[in-house]
Amino acid sequence: MSESLADIAPAAAHDLHASGAVVLLDVRELPEWVAGHAPGARHIPLRELVPDEVAGDEIVVVCRSGNRSGQAAALLARSGVAARNMDGGMKAWAAAGLPIVTPTGERGTVA
């Protein structure tokens, strides 16, 4: 069984995701996702998260502020998935000036 890995800063999560080293999993609700998310992130709302259906050597979980993603990372870790929480969530991602897109590829916002 895996343990939760240390939280990761948004810039580090962005770099690892861009290199293909991690899967970025957004567990916010659909309206939040539609308003804006990290490019290339996978979307599964926390209430729909089934650990056995999440694939990847390492998962970085993100929500708006880090609370839901912390819960999701712990759930995944209890199921043997190497998962870590992105510190500060999409609010911190946006504050770091990292890209945010809508499902249509337009510039997004953090709702």
For residue 82, the surrounding DSSP H or E stretch is none
Beta bridge pairs of residue 43: 26
Q: In whole angstroms, what is the distance from residue 110 CA to residue 3 CA? A: 29
Q: Judging by DSSP bridges, how do beta strands 83-85 and 42-43 pair with one another?
A: unpaired
Establish whether 63 is a catalytic residue.
yes
Structure tokens at 3: 């343990």
Of 63, 73, 76, 100, the active-site residue reads 63
Structure tokens at 23: 């899967």
The residues carrying an active-site annotation are: 63
